[in-house]
Structure 1
């Protein structure tokens, strides 16, 4: 399998590039419940200027609510979800599905107001967010978009898990999971990411869990809003107990890919390279991203520049400012 993957990587001829940053066309509101808190929450998305990035503000905190930037440096928790900010103060939890949808659908700048501590889980996937962004519309701004291009391999190992970034002419994810449960087992899924592929092949994959873990999670304050409406649940007999079954035969690994797309979106810019992981999760994803961004010899900041009308954009290295969203 590894040789086949290397051949596929080598055969890739290019990456679809956008020259300019984007934002949403108009304001958008969604409502739901937090999968861990179980509380009702509304989330409001507003268009934002170039170089704003993705920023959250807890409106339930009133005037004291601080802006929380969707960046790796703001990651405060990786237990069962990815949280931003100070868990003891202003924070927003379970951002990964939303961040995956924003990143994969090409939305660079959004101001997000949320009236609770957790992004609503919706149906447990990113599909509701994807459809909402498509319905609202995405518009181009005047400033150039920057990318993080991986120029040398970077790898981390945590116990039996590992993750690595490799140079690659595209944005590729290769996710390998391995569970003891026969309902999941070992599954592998890989794609070159684009808005169309994400919407069709990844966005509908739901979060999942085991019914044997429910009481332990409740006692720890997690999964209070989890249900068969927003989670794939594996029963004591190792079968999926949801009446509608799975959306994909390998929905479990596709959801792990969805999580990885969202976690890596916290780089603050899209990456050009290949991300691979084995037995990964939020903690591994966050550690791998931090390892990449702290090794300035492993990446360069580039812009897509079209030298002639009608020709494919080229990637041109640029001098990054002293402070930039992707810096730790």
Structure 2
């Protein structure tokens, strides 16, 4: 099973659903409550970044090559890939174990030369994957990507952050999915100024790092909705409690910003979690007592902001299993 996880982490996650009405929505940019005119450069960035998904779904993997720089740098769940040829060569790695893998977009944000995606990976496990024989199980997990484009609208840098543990759990049958979720592209409301959204995202990180719970409470709407690594939480008190729970195993936990993007009422923030395992960490029913080890992993949150600067919805995702490589598993009980 460990080989499977290592293989999964090494895979560059880049794909999309088939040419459907969702793709058409991407082509028409994003359904908005108020029209927005892209600059010529942003229009090119939007067109090229969405083309990656179309090419993948059509099996035209080599067509993605010309949409990247020759020296593209990729960090996919901690696996580093450098160069166009290596990047394109890895796009086929899900073909046999998960034929027809779809990456169904929920959010697409274009902010200058940065594009942020949030999507669901959905497939059926029909081929051998590492040392895991085909199970026929439906597979589903959340993922996000940050594209950085060059002056010609070509992708020069890619960061992928996925629920690797969720993907593996559904493939193996540890978690069962009866049916894949229906996924639609969320609208962007451009009547909310981007500056308002960016400020809310900035304060959200700063207030957490400073443990200013009163300020966070003021920043969240009363009825904020959160998808917290596939666990749904409602209301500001419950969301703040969820944040505080993270500090039990990692009391000094902080978020170091790596990438951010905002468009209209939506923002994406990708960051590195830094902390020390000085408290009980519970994962999949197992307890891991404090080890004193430093931990570091990536995470992403997508925020929806109202015109008054309040955060009204949150989608957070990470690979929770990634913490284990920093924690001495022999201390589990």
Q: As a proportion of its length, which structure holds more helix?
A: 2
Using the size of structure 2 for normalisation, the TM-score is 0.29
The structure with higher relative contact order (CA 8 Å, sep 6+) is 1
- Report the TM-score, using the length of structure 1 for normalisation: 0.29
